[in-house]
Amino acid sequence: MNLDFTPDELAFRDEVRAFLSKSLPPDIRHKVLEGERVSRDDTVAWQRILHRQGWGGPTWSKEFGGTGWDPVRQYIFEEECAAAGAPRLLPFGLKMVGPVIMAFGNAAQQQRFLPRILTGDDWWCQGYSEPGAGSDLASLKTRAERRGDHYLVNGQKTWITLAQHADWMFCLVRTDPEAKPQQGISFLLVDMHAKGVTVRPIITMDGGHEVNEIWLEDVSVPTENLVGEESKGWTYAKFLLGHERANIAGVGISKRELQRLRQIGSRQRKHGRPLLEDPSFAARVAQVEIDLMALEITNLRVLSAESERRAPGPEASLLKIKGTEIQQALSELMLQATGSFTGLFAATYLNMRKTSIYGGSNEIQKNIISGSILGL
């Protein structure tokens, strides 16, 4: 694979850099580069800035209001945004439910929901995991009973990221309790402001409020909010999870954090010399850099598959495994470099512990890879 950019691609990179220099708000840039929490308002403001530029859907086709960029331009855009300190685009709408609605939704759903994702007017969350159904998602119990022109939904979802901000939730529900576990599941779009929806915070070890539990008690969901066919939700869920796992890899962000680690390592001293010159520490940093280079190539392959409207295959699981391992290694090395289990670096370290679990645990991903590639 030739990783050298063409003159046109280099010109595009310069265009992105100029735009970021001019349009990325300094206060948001500062938060991202310093590892501080980015607020809901920051995320929405950045999405709206991108939308005004015509870049609100970097991975979407022009047919649905996106940029129509090829995989290389998508890669350049995400890498430059990460390096400049732009907040990560909210994936739940842009990279998860959006592609599902494009692929399986009807025209009315596409016209209703997709534009509001691009403008940042609707914030989405993912209603998959339940107290007894995490990695074993097929055992979910949230029930949706059809009552004429609506479904009556009852159940509980947990570990729902940023649900406290959400306007909508794409939700897996069981519509046929008599069917086999992977069958009888449907994909519903639930209004988070509807009567019977309760969001309760889960405060994590770092003191943050990022995840939540959601209670659904006799929530009325119009049948028009069913995506695709009833009891075919498992197919749509697998399609979405491929996009989620590819997104979790976060290559551009890890490259930025690697650079940050090098800066910290050059400032911190050990035995009178920069920590980065310590053989043991330097070897670990070099290994992370090698892993990240390999991950980049796999990421480009997944982007190529998406551009051809193919769902990511087992390589998405590889991205998820290696991407999260790299993120955790970087957070560990930063903590080691600072020598203190307090402050932002400690919070980041604790927060990164969960990356190898959500989106399907890394152990589950290894099973997927063995089944898909080795036929086991």
Assess contact for 99 and 240: CB atoms under 8 A.
yes
What is the rounded distance in angstroms from the CA atom of residue 366 to the CA atom of residue 231? 27
Burial class (CB within 10 angstroms; exposed 0-12, middle 13-18, buried 19+) of 111? exposed
- The neighbouring-strand residues paired with 129 are none
- SS3 breakdown of the chain: % helix, strand, coil, rounded to 5? 55, 15, 30
Supply the residues annotated as catalytic: 244
Task: Look at residue 270 and give its three-state secondary structure.
Answer: strand
Residues 6+ apart with CB under 8 A from 19: 53, 55
What is the rounded distance in angstroms from the CA atom of residue 226 to the CA atom of residue 146? 11
What is the rounded distance in angstroms from the CA atom of residue 179 to the CA atom of residue 244? 27
Residues 6+ apart with CB under 8 A from 141: 130, 132, 133, 155, 174
Q: List the alpha helices (DSSP H) in the chain.
A: 7-23, 26-33, 40-53, 71-84, 91, 98-104, 107-119, 233-248, 251-267, 279-307, 314-338, 343-352, 362-369
What is the rounded distance in angstroms from the CA atom of residue 188 to the CA atom of residue 233? 8
What is the rounded distance in angstroms from the CA atom of residue 141 to the CA atom of residue 4? 49
Which residue spans within the chain are E strands per DSSP? 124-127, 143-147, 150-161, 168-174, 185-191, 197-202, 211-222, 269-270, 273-274
